[in-house]
Structure 1
Amino acid sequence: MTETVGSSLRQIRKGRGESIVEVAKATHTSPASFTKWENDQTVPSERSIRKLAEYYHTDPVNILALAYPDKYAEQQAKTVDLTDHDVIRVEDLLSAKTVLTYNDAILATSKKDLVAAFTAGLIIGGTDSEE
């Protein structure tokens, strides 16, 4: 499944426990517009994305690359040598077929959903820094 601007905005918002009305009011956007963005009916303007990124305290390129890949995806891409690393794709970690455990106990679906929302918020809403 391809990540979209709408799904990303929804995951960040829900991960923060905010309603569409709260985010729209804080970013001076109409709730109707925000709903259309989250449902991928329309794409927010670059200006709107920058306002949202500022509100979410994130690098706007993370969202701009989804909305305008031809213009911003290259800025977002980073190459990392994965030779000496165990690679776990977040998509696989959170897929419906994956079972998450903690201290040898299987996490309930509701907790797995929270992990998914939190993880998406970190990936999309966080700032990147290499160790």
Structure 2
Amino acid sequence: MITNGVGSVLRQIRKGRGESIVEVAKATHTSPASFTKWENDQTIPSERSIRKLAEYYNTDPLELLSVAYPDKYAQKQENEQPVGDGPSIRVEDLLGNNSVLTYNGVPLAAGTKSLVAAFIAGLIIAQPE
């Protein structure tokens, strides 16, 4: 199972809009079976499919692409300045495959880390411009 969290983000957006998998799949010319696999993080949608979904959801495709393909699309913007005096930590690095998240000194299980990643990605994507 793929644990990058893009499926959880897609599910959160879809459910937030009150739509079924069949409705979104039909509107984006995707099979419901493929969409189900994406939402269950069994497969990752192609970049083309993500762009179609972003257009349908009226969101910036780079936001979804950076969750699905962080090595390729998750980049720090040149004009972004760190806030505060502390070190700047990229969310992508924090939730990357090589990082270990802990709570009260205990490492989180991979499934829990995946849920945290999906939740954070959903919060970021859901922010108004």
TM-score class normalised by the smaller sequence: 0.5 to 0.7
Q: Give the Å deviation of 1:70.
A: 1.1
Partner residue, 2:30: 29
Identity over aligned pairs, percent: 73
Q: 2:34 matched to 1:38? A: no
TM-score, scaled relative to structure 1 = 0.61
Task: Summarize deviations over 1:11-40 as a string: whole Å, max 9, x none.
Answer: 000000000000000000000000000000
Q: 2:94 matched to 1:56? A: no
Tell me, in whole angstroms, the C-alpha distance in 2 between the residues paired with 1:62 and 1:83. 24
Partner of 2:74, secondary structure, is helix
Change (3 A) 1:77 1:24: farther
Task: Summarize deviations over 1:81-100 as a string: whole Å, max 9, x none.
Answer: 4239xxxxxxxxxxxxxxxx
Tell me, in whole angstroms, the C-alpha distance in 1 between the residues paired with 2:53 and 2:36. 14
1:6 maps to amino acid? G
Tell me, in whole angstroms, the C-alpha distance in 1 between the residues paired with 2:12 and 2:70. 19
Q: Give the Å deviation of 1:56.
A: 0.3
Partner residue, 2:74: 73
Divergent runs of 4+, >2 A: 75-84, 125-128
1:73 maps to amino acid? A
Partner residue, 2:14: 13
Change (3 A) 1:81 1:74: closer
The structure whose Rg is larger is: 1
Partner residue, 2:98: none
TM-score, scaled relative to structure 2 = 0.62
Partner residue, 1:83: 84
Aligned residue pairs: how many? 93
Q: Give the Å deviation of 1:73.
A: 0.3
User: Structure 1: which 5+ runs fail to align?
Assistant: 85-116
Change (3 A) 1:75 1:82: closer
Aligned 8 A contact 2:4 2:41 in 1: no
Aligned 8 A contact 1:59 1:125 in 2: no
Change (3 A) 1:127 1:78: farther
Tell me, in whole angstroms, the C-alpha distance in 2 between the residues paired with 1:20 and 1:77. 37
